[in-house]
Structures are given as C-alpha cells and as structure tokens.
Structure 1
Amino acid sequence: MRTTRLLSTAFAVVALLAASATAAAAATHPARYRHYVALGDSYTAGPLIPLPRLDPLGCLRSTANYPAVLAARLHVGTYTDVSCSGADTSDMTHAQNVPLGVNPAQLSALRPGTDLVTLGIGGNDSGVFGSLVGTCPSLRASDPTGNPCQQHFTTNGVDTVKAALATTQRNVQSVLAGIHARSPHAKVLAVGYPRIAPESGYCPDILPFADGDYAWLSSVEEALNAAISNAVAADGHSSYVDTFGPSSGHDACAPDGAAWINGKDTLPLAAAAYHPLARGMAGVATVIARHLNR
C-alpha cells in the first residue's frame, strides 16, 4: 500500500507539472485568432499529402496542408478547413460534388465571429490549370525546343489563357465580398500560387513541357497571381500574400529536398502530380505567418 501511495503521489506530481507546462505554453502563446477558416482549391487542400481527412474524402484534404500548419503555428482557438481539390470560385457559394460525398458551399463555414480567413482560389476558373497540364505535355514532342503549347492557346494573336483571367479577377473579387458579408471583422488573406517552373533551365523528366513553354507557363502563373492581387486591390478590405516570389528556387525542378511542387508523376503517399509537397505546404504557411507578423 505504501508503494501504491508513492506511485499515486508521483503520478499526481507529474500531472500537476504537465498541467502547469500546458498553462505556461498557453500563456506564452495565447490564441491570436479565435476562429480561422481556410477556403480554397487543391493547392490549399494538399491532395495525397498524408494523412487525408474524411470530410469528405473526395476533397483530398490533407491534415498537413498549409491551413493545418498555419493554425498550429498561430495557436488559433479553432480552425475550419473546407478547401477542396477541383474547386473553383463557384464552389464558394455552391455545393461541390466529389467522389464519395459532397463538399458544402465553402463560404457556409464562415461565422460572424470568424477573425481570420485564407483564400486560395482561381487556378481552376476557366480550366486554366487543367488546360495547361492536360495539353502542354503532349505537345512537347512536336517541337521540344519551341513553344507549341503557347502557340496552341494563341488565337489571332490573343493568348486565350491569359484573356480568361479577367473573368477570374471579377470572380475572386466577388468571393472576397461574400467573405466580408459573412465575417465582417475577419482579416482576409488571398493567397497566390507558388512557382511551378524554374526561372531558368529545364527538367523535362519532371515537367514535360517544351523548353520555350517554360517561360510562358511562368508568365501565365504571374498573370493569374496578378488577377488575384488586382481583385484584392479592388476589394480594398483584404490583403494579398505573394507565394510566387518566395518560392523561387523551390519549383518542381529544384534539387531533392528543395522542391515545394511535385512534378508529373503522382506520388501516392506524398503529392498529386503538379501539386504541392508537404514541404511546400510548410513553406507557404511560413510565408503567410510572416505576412501576418509584418
């Protein structure tokens, strides 16, 4: 019995110390934001990055995407991640059908008391990303050192991919207005897309685009990010987070351990093709945290 009492006392002391440590940590890192909501497409959701969430499984929403990393880093009170792979701006206000379920309209997650919102959307509007990765690789063989994909999407001298971004800008601006209407006191961050292609050089085994299309691909990304940034400027009540510049040197062609973006091959336990890796999500979370701390 004496041994039992000693053990009980020891466990009580350990429990007390643990509780004290937890209280100290909470005091050191008080919740700066009470309710964080993450909205977005697959570049927010993080398809195939372990481990997946099940609400619903078809969104391929990772428990290690940048909203999860950011929420932990900021010690938020609660956070709600409703990002979903394949989402475009229309899925902010309408339910999105996905395999094995339905993702509710993403803006429905917002509350009057929500005080932090991140929005990563726009790349799927007008099928921009899908058109690029679905078309460009198959055209490389026709002109490996040229720009066959850029030519494919140019009609009468007009770059049809970039021309569609004017609509994307209006759509994103409308989404921002919808966020403010539902959560009028929230800090709202529109998060841009990180760099996919390198600033120079090529890696056709990873990014199977024609050499001349690498620069064009980057220019499309820059135009997409500019559309999002312009929507933020027109909105006037949100801010834009640039991830394209900070991801320089972390493109899909970067050396092992440096790339934020996966290449053409789907990695079942790491990332979908042409999508962020776990280190990319961590990198974007760092960029957002720095933006908030400025």
Structure 2
Amino acid sequence: MRTARLLVAVTSAAILLTTTITAAASAAGTIHHYVALGDSYTSGPFIPIQRSDPLGCARSTANYPSVLAAALHPAVFTDVSCAGADTGSMTAPQSVTFNATNPPQLDALRLDTDLVTVGIGGNDFGLFGRLLATCPGLRAGAPAGNPCEQHFTVNGVDTVQMAVTAIHPRVEAILTTIHQRSPGARVIVVGYPRIAPESGYCPDVLPFAEGDYAWLNRVESDLNAALSDAAADAAAEYVDTFGPSTGHDACARGGSAWVNGRNQNLFAAAAYHPLQAGMAGVAAVVLKTLR
C-alpha cells in the first residue's frame, strides 16, 4: 500500500513539473542556438541515458539542459557540460576517464548563439570534492559537533570561505568571455541546489556531523552568492536553485529528493549529485526565469 502511495506521489510530481516546464517554454520565445556549459551538477552522472561524447564526462540525456532543450525546441542544442569541470575547463581541454578529452567548453559558442546556461564553480580549488572526501570521515569522532568546519579553519580563518571568495572573479571572467564570443546571447548562471536540509539530520544518507549541516548550508549559500554577484558584475542573469530546492535535499523522503545521498547508484545518480527529479526541478526553475 505504501509503495502504491509513493508511486502516485512521484507520478503526480512529475506531471506537475512537466506542466510547469511546458507552460514556461511557451512563453520563453524561439531559441536558435542553445549552449549548455557546466560541471557534474549540470552533466548528470549516472542519470540514464549516459552519452558517450565522451563517456568520461558523465553527460546525461536527462540532465537539466536536455530537459530545457526538449521544452524550448531550439534549432540547435549543444551540451558540452562535463563532470569534474572547473572554470579552467571553459577555456582549456579537460582530461576525463577512459583516456578521453573534453574540448574547451567555450569552443561550443558561436556568434549566433542566443542562449547560454552555465553551472560552474563548485570544483574550483577542489571545493566540493574536499568537503565530501573529508567531512563524512570526521563524523565518528564528534557526531554532535562540527569537526569538518574545525578541520578547514586554520588560525581562525575559514579556508573554504576563502576559496569561495576567490571563485567569484574566475566566474566573472568566464561570463565576460561568453559575452565576447556570443554578444547576442542571454547568459544564465545556474546556482547549486540544496544538499543538506534546513533543519534535522539524516546521517544514514548524509553522514556529516550534526554541527556541520549548518556549515555545509552556509558554504553552499555563500558559493551561490558568489555566483550571483559574478553574474551581476558581468551583465548575466542568475537563477537561484538553492531556495526552490528547500524540502528536496538529500534527506528528503517519499521520492521528493533532488539530490542523491552518499550511496552511489549506477542507474540513478552519483553520490551527492542530482537525481533525475532534481534535474527536472532545476529545469522548471530556469524556465520560470526564461519567461
């Protein structure tokens, strides 16, 4: 009985998202050439079906750019997002697994490109990677404390916050280059969705110490603020997905999570990465901006 109720809830949510996306797309106008740039939160590791151009980029045909393209029907859609990308991958080739290379992502831009979405910044200075590799291992020593925040605080200075501050000019420079290469494009910076809940804990899914949940939220919030400021300084638009994903964090139950927890799922999502429902949710938020 519980399984049936869950199926109905998930189906209803999917129908609502589809309706929202379709309505927003009809108001967005005609797009000639849409280019999607970004890291794994854009590419969608393990979300079916994975593309092979190159396979190492873990680029899904159901990521939010693909959902947007299906709704907007651009004449040309180019998705060059790639797992592991940082701002340097926008202008230089990126080596990926299987001895493959993803070309500089900005090479996909053309003079006639009129829509660009960008989801980047979380991999600069190894930001997300360092947190996710370090924080779970520190929980056992102080499950009710904030050992990860303490670990990254050196001589009273939050080194993660320092990295976030330094990401702003990098993203701003990329956005400026996009405008130069595609002067007629509408450029949209897509923020990162919420990983941890506003309150409460789920150590079986998100194995951070309780005090580090608030810190993780603050890190994400500060990163998104840096992206928003960079967009404003570079005459681009910013789409907040952190706020709209409240209640859809990794701890969310009943099929409402947008982000996967610690367990890798080869047929759904990489650990700590967006699920297909999350990609649909982000697409719906972006389409509201496009209206």
| TM-score normalised by structure 2 residue count | 0.90
Q: Which residue, out of 25, 33, 36, partners 2:34?
A: 36
Tell me the alpha carbon deviations over residues 155-182 of structure 1, each in whole angstroms, 9 at most, x when there is no partner: 1111100111122001000000110011
- SS of the residue aligned with 2:78? strand
User: 1:75 offset after TM fit, Å?
Assistant: 1.7
Identity %: 63
* Aligned residue pairs, count: 265
Residue 54 (structure 2) aligns with: 56
Query: Is 1:248 equivalent to 2:246 in the alignment?
Result: yes
Once residues 136 and 160 of structure 1 are traced to their aligned partners in structure 2, the CA distance between those partners, rounded to angstroms, is 14
Counterpart of 1:257 (choices 249, 255, 258) is 255
Contact map agreement 2:90 2:105 (CA 8 A) in 1: yes
- The code of the aligned residue for 1:262 comes to N
Which secondary structure does the structure 1 equivalent of 2:118 belong to?
strand
Residue 112 in structure 1 maps to residue 111 in structure 2? yes
Distance, in Å, in 1 between the alignment partners of 2:279 and 2:225 is 21
Kept in 2, the 8 Å contact 1:91–1:105? The answer is yes
Superposition map of 1:59-70 within 5 A: 59-70=57-68
Aligned residue in 2 for 1:168: 167
**1:1-294 to 2 correspondences below 5 Å:** 32-100=30-98, 101-235=100-234, 237-293=235-291
Question: Matched residues in 2 for 1:162 and 1:122: separation?
Answer: 13
Query: 1:256: how far off?
Result: 2.5
Letter in 1 for 2:30: R
Gaps of 5+ in 2: 1-25
Which structure has the higher relative contact order (CA within 8 Å, separation 6+)?
A: 2
Whether the 8 Å CA contact 1:29–1:75 is kept in 2: the answer is no
Q: 1:239 to 1:144 in 2, by over 3 A?
A: same
1:121–1:29 distance in 2 versus 1, CA, 3 Å:
closer
Q: How many angstroms apart in 2 are the aligned matches of 1:201 and 1:289?
A: 31
Work out the CA distance in 1 between the residues paired with 2:149 and 2:29.
Answer: 47
Structure 2 vs 1, CA of residues 126 and 148 (structure 1 numbering), >3 Å: closer, same or farther?
same
The question of whether the paired residues in 1 share the 8 Å contact of 2:28 and 2:290 is answered with no
Cα offset for 1:261?
0.2
TM-score (norm 1): 0.89
